[in-house]
């Protein structure tokens, strides 16, 4: 490989920059001359908006700071490549720029939609006899990419969710003598409940855990929910319930739509969801007279690098390194996956997989990991997720606040 380019796309995570670090490190080890970064993904690349990563990462301090920086260091985008037919000029422009900068390989760090970009570009290269290689690097807090055991970004979001919930449970328990407070916490995840399931991870000897967990994989039954809340409120002074933003009733209506039907749609045509917790908190207050509180973790759950999982950071770097290694072996149109070793102690190795079997496929949480009452996670999930939140990479504080690496 002579020169390479790396881009980031889709919603950021706490460790997406560790994958950039991995790509850079391995490329330099392999003697790659220039490691370019596309600013704001393929959309920025089309405008020739690129940087030379040597300007930032050619010293250990910045390299360490990059791994502690949330959000896409290179800038992200939500641009989806159109079909080739009728849009040839877009593809021609991309390959023209790759040629101009003598770039052999393009690495794209992202989720489902971003893997579609790798698929489109590698297919185009094959169909048009282009020599460039295209490799996907998995990233998403949603953990909904297929084939890979889990996605870098997921573990850190879980660690934030578990720790913040533990703090919220302590806080919510402080007024035991008064009438119960029902706290409903909304967690990201439109169709897959992976993130909300992490609410189960705060339970331990020093924490009773959340009282119920509602995932989008199971139809939400408002009456059963209200009964559950009423029963809990009779027994406990503090009730904390975790719900996914995407929970829907059995007729397919999002809970947050119980009071709002003109929801906006993002660039990919996804419905913009929010407010399920406040909708439910309002319903509970009106129906039961209980004191309620709605909390949304919002973007904090994907941006809280100060609470990132070291396991996650290491794996994010590892998948970046693997992508470069395999491209160096001539591989293209593949995504790096994490493979969990079949051993007592947790460990993962990396492999690669055909992008055609990954792009645009959404992996849901196995229904058999949800308990019989449909409102808690079974031990199978805990066993799967616990290893992913282990370890810490402490932030570097300056003047009392965490520091980040930012583009000039």
> Scanning the structure block, which residue is given the tokens 């250990």?
60
Closest alpha carbon to 10 in 92, 97, 116: 116
* Residue 21 to residue 18: CA distance in whole angstroms: 5
Of the residues 113, 116, 142, 144, only one is catalytic, namely 142
Is residue 360 within the footprint of a copy of itself (CB under 8 A)? Answer: no
* Single residue of 52, 123, 351, 392 touching a copy of itself by CB under 8 A: 392
Provide the minimum distance between the beta carbon of 399 and a copy of itself in the complex, in angstroms, as a whole number: 7
Walk across the sheet containing 291-296 and list its strands.
212-214, 238-244, 181-187, 291-296
| Window 294-323: residues binding a copy of itself (CB under 8 A) | 295-296, 298-300, 302-307, 309
By beta-carbon proximity to a copy of itself, the closer residue of 133 and 389 is: 389
* Residue 226 to residue 169: CA distance in whole angstroms: 20
Q: Which stretch binds a copy of itself (CB under 8 A): 63-71, 137-145, 213-221, 346-354?
A: 63-71
In sequence order, the β-bridge partners of residue 336 are: 352
List b or e across 43-68, with b for residues whose CB sees 16 or more CB atoms inside 10 angstroms.
bbbbeeebbebeebbeeeeeeebbbb
* Single residue of 59, 87, 174, 349 touching a copy of itself by CB under 8 A: 174
Is residue 396 within the footprint of a copy of itself (CB under 8 A)? Answer: no
List b or e across 332-370, with b for residues whose CB sees 16 or more CB atoms inside 10 angstroms.
bbbbbbbeeeeeeeeebebebbebbebbeeebebeeebb
Tell me the two tokens of residue 227.
């009964």
What is the C-alpha end-to-end distance of the chain, expressed in Å? 27
* Residue 57 to residue 17: CA distance in whole angstroms: 12
Is residue 270 within the footprint of a copy of itself (CB under 8 A)? Answer: yes
Residues touching a copy of itself: how many (CB under 8 A)?
86
Is residue 389 within the footprint of a copy of itself (CB under 8 A)? Answer: yes
> Scanning the structure block, which residue is given the tokens 């003047």?
399
Q: Which stretch binds a copy of itself (CB under 8 A): 25-33, 130-138, 223-231, 277-285?
A: 277-285
By beta-carbon proximity to a copy of itself, the closer residue of 120 and 304 is: 304
Is residue 18 within the footprint of a copy of itself (CB under 8 A)? Answer: no
| Window 228-247: residues binding a copy of itself (CB under 8 A) | none
By beta-carbon proximity to a copy of itself, the closer residue of 252 and 400 is: 400
Q: Which stretch binds a copy of itself (CB under 8 A): 20-28, 111-119, 259-267, 362-370?
A: 259-267
142 is catalytic: yes
Is residue 43 within the footprint of a copy of itself (CB under 8 A)? Answer: yes
| Window 340-359: residues binding a copy of itself (CB under 8 A) | none
Is residue 3 within the footprint of a copy of itself (CB under 8 A)? Answer: no
Is residue 171 within the footprint of a copy of itself (CB under 8 A)? Answer: yes
* Single residue of 22, 37, 70, 153 touching a copy of itself by CB under 8 A: 70
* Residue 180 to residue 360: CA distance in whole angstroms: 44
* Residue 201 to residue 159: CA distance in whole angstroms: 8
Q: Is 88 exposed, middle or buried (0-12, 13-18, 19+ CB in 10 A)?
A: exposed
Is residue 279 within the footprint of a copy of itself (CB under 8 A)? Answer: yes
By beta-carbon proximity to a copy of itself, the closer residue of 240 and 335 is: 240
Q: Which residues are catalytic?
A: 142
């Amino acid at each position: 490989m002579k020169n390479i380019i790396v881009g980031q796309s889709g919603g950021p995570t706490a460790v997406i920059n560790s994958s950039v670090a991995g790509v850079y490190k391995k490329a330099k080890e392999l003697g790659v001359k220039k490691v370019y970064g596309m600013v704001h993904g393929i959309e920025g690349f089309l405008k020739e908006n690129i940087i030379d990563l040597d300007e930032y990462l050619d010293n250990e301090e910045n390299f360490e700071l990059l791994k502690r920086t949330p959000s896409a260091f290179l800038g992200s985008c939500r641009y989806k490549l159109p079909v080739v037919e009728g849009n040839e000029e877009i593809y021609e422009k991309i390959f023209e720029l790759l040629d101009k900068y003598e770039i052999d390989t393009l690495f794209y760090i992202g989720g489902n939609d971003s893997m579609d970009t790798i698929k489109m570009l590698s297919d185009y290269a094959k169909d048009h006899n282009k020599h460039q290689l295209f490799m996907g690097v998995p990233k998403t807090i949603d953990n909904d990419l297929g084939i890979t055991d889990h996605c870098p970004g997921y573990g850190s979001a879980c660690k934030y969710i578990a720790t913040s919930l533990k703090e919220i449970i302590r806080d919510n328990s402080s007024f035991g003598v008064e009438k119960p407070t029902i706290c409903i916490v909304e967690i990201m995840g439109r169709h897959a409940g992976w993130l909300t399931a992490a609410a189960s991870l705060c339970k331990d000897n020093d924490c009773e855990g959340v009282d119920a967990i509602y995932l989008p994989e199971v139809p939400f039954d408002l009456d059963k929910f209200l009964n559950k809340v009423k029963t809990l409120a009779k027994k406990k002074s503090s009730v904390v319930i975790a719900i996914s933003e995407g929970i829907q009733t059995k007729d397919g209506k999002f809970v947050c739509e119980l009071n709002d039907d003109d929801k906006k749609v993002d660039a990919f045509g996804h419905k913009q969801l929010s407010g399920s917790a406040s909708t439910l908190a309002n319903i509970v207050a009106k129906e039961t007279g209980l004191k309620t509180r709605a909390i949304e973790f919002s973007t904090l759950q994907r941006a809280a690098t100060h609470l990132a999982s070291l396991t996650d950071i290491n794996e994010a770097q590892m998948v970046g390194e693997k992508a470069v290694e395999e491209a160096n072996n001539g591989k293209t149109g593949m995504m790096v996956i994490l493979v969990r070793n079949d051993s007592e102690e947790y460990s993962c190795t990396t492999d690669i997989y055909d992008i055609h079997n990954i792009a645009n496929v959404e992996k849901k949480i196995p229904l058999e990991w949800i308990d019989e009452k449909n409102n808690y996670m079974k031990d199978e999930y805990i066993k799967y997720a616990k290893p992913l939140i282990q370890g810490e990479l402490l932030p570097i504080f300056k003047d009392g606040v965490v520091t980040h690496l930012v583009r000039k």
